[in-house]
Amino acid sequence: MSTYQAVTSFSVAAAADYSSTGQYLLVDINSSGQAVLVASQGAKAVGVLDNDPESGNAARVIFSGVAKVTAGGDITAGAKITTGADARAETAASGDHVIGTALTSGGDGDIIEVLLGTGQHILA
């Protein structure tokens, strides 16, 4: 069931070419102020890449609301979500930065829905 709803987003330049691989992956902002895919498991993320920009073009980043996100493993609805090393969503473990809550379940490579902006914190 799709629950894709109003979101809050911003746009910044893409740090690389994400035209074929970036949409629905988790991003952070690099020291140049560009959107970059998260490359560490459990790391912080500012949001989800909602388009597929080429390098230097506008990357639309959703940081609040219900967003589509690519799962990096089995995720159950209601699970707290963190980043995987491949910028996909994973179930958070102790010490991970939590970026939101899964609203739908899915497996590796599936597109799930995540409620973002529910207070990023580190899971105890």
pLDDT, tens digit, 9 for 90 and up, residues 65-81: 999 999 999 999 999 99
pTM across the whole model: 0.91
The pLDDT value given to residue 7: 83
The pLDDT tens digits for 10-65 are: 999 999 999 998 899 999 999 999 999 999 999 999 999 999 999 999 999 999 99
Query: How confident is the model over 78-94, as a mean pLDDT?
Result: 95
Query: Percent of the chain beyond pLDDT 70?
Result: 92
C-alpha 120/C-alpha 106 separation (Å) is 22
| DSSP label of 70 | E
